Amino acid sequence: MHSRKLIQLLSALVALPAAVFADYEGFDFEGPDLAANGSGTGWVAGSTWSISSGGFDVGSDSLMAGNLRTAGNHVVATTKGVNIAARRMDAEAPSSGEFWASIVVDANGLGGGLTFSADPTGALDLFANDFANRARFGFGINGTNFVYKLDGREAAPINGSVAGATHAPTLLVAKFDVTKGLFSLWANPTLGGANPTGGIVVASDVPFKRTGTTFAADVIFAGLSANWNGVQLDEVRLGTSFADVAASATP
């Protein structure tokens, strides 16, 4: 087990992109709690995950989603209610161009995902109507549906869902076209290409607006969200291309 994890870790470190903006968290620590722990690259120096609701424990080994390259461990929600943790990125998300994000979710018929906000306590609960006219963005799984929420400080925030989620680790890949204000989301896309193909297309160029500030100022903290205990999350990746957030373990 330990030799496999070491090989995975070394491979992941080699594969991490040398982009101006790129973050990775494989939860490469034993815990037992996520709180006050942190690993990976691209985060504010010395930063750790902070809990604003519920909690997360560290589970051994990675969640395996297809041939995605993985390393370290994973986290498991511990509270029978809302669980939210946040960590500050080393740099703001891009003000133009593309912002990509991915996470592996095993929701076990419940709900979990990745969110973004301007402060750690304002992380989005993907599974409740809590937009509150503040800029937050998120995507994940809720039951048998893939879901997303886009709140760009608009009077009518955008949310959507597509059926197809199963009780298995699933790679979710999101693209924010910051220049055009368009959002796209894929579940278990084929890895290795310049852009996602295959899998389930959850959202394709859904328009979203940002008023009062820039996307970069809105997306400073990455957040983990789970709506019940037992939801598992892993392999958080942020970057400016599909290759940044979905490295394949095989050519």
Residues 148-178: tens digit of each pLDDT: 999 866 667 888 999 999 999 999 999 999 9
> How far apart, in whole angstroms, are the C-alpha atoms of residue 90 and residue 7?
27
Domain residue limits, the chain: 2-245
Alpha-carbon span 50 to 32, nearest angstrom: 14
Which pLDDT band, with edges at 50, 70 and 90, does 209 fall under?
confident
Which pLDDT does position 125 carry in this prediction? 81
Cβ–Cβ < 8 Å for 127, 114: no
* Of the listed ranges 69-83, 130-144, 196-210, 231-245, the one predicted with least confidence: 130-144
Tens digit of pLDDT for each residue in 28-43? 998 899 999 999 999 9
Mean pLDDT of the region 205-228: 88
Q: Is the pLDDT of residue 15 over 70?
A: no
Highest mean pLDDT among 54-58, 87-91, 128-132: 54-58
What is the structure's pLDDT at 208? 85
- As a residue count, the chain comes to 251
Residue 122 confidence (pLDDT) above 80: no
Please give the residue that has the higher pLDDT: either 159 or 17.
Answer: 159
Q: Are 171 and 189 in contact (CB under 8 A)?
A: yes
pLDDT: is 160 or 133 the higher one?
Answer: 160
Taking residues 170-187, what's their average pLDDT?
Answer: 96
User: pTM of the prediction?
Assistant: 0.90
Structure tokens at 216: 């970069």
Q: What is the pLDDT of residue 239?
A: 95
Quote the mean pLDDT of the chain: 88
Q: Check pLDDT > 60 for residue 5.
A: no
pLDDT at 212: 67
The model's confidence at residue 8, banded by pLDDT at 50, 70 and 90, is: very low
SS (H, E, C) the chain: CHHHHHHHHHHHHHHCCCCCCCEEECCCCCCCECCCCCCCECECCCCCCEEEECCEEEECCCCCCCCECCCCCEEEECCCCCEEEEEEECCCCCCCCEEEEEEEEECCCCEEEEEEECCHHHCCCCCCCCCCCCCEEEEEEECCEEEEEEECCCCCCEEEEEECCCCCCEEEEEEEECCCCEEEEEECCECCCCCCECCEEEEEEEECCCCCCCHHHHCCEEEEEECCCCCEEEEEEEECCHHHHCCECCC
Q: Who wins on pLDDT, 18 or 153?
A: 153
pLDDT > 50? residue 105: yes
Give the pair of three-digit tokens for residue 173.
């890949």
CATH topology of domain 2-245: Jelly Rolls (2.60.120)
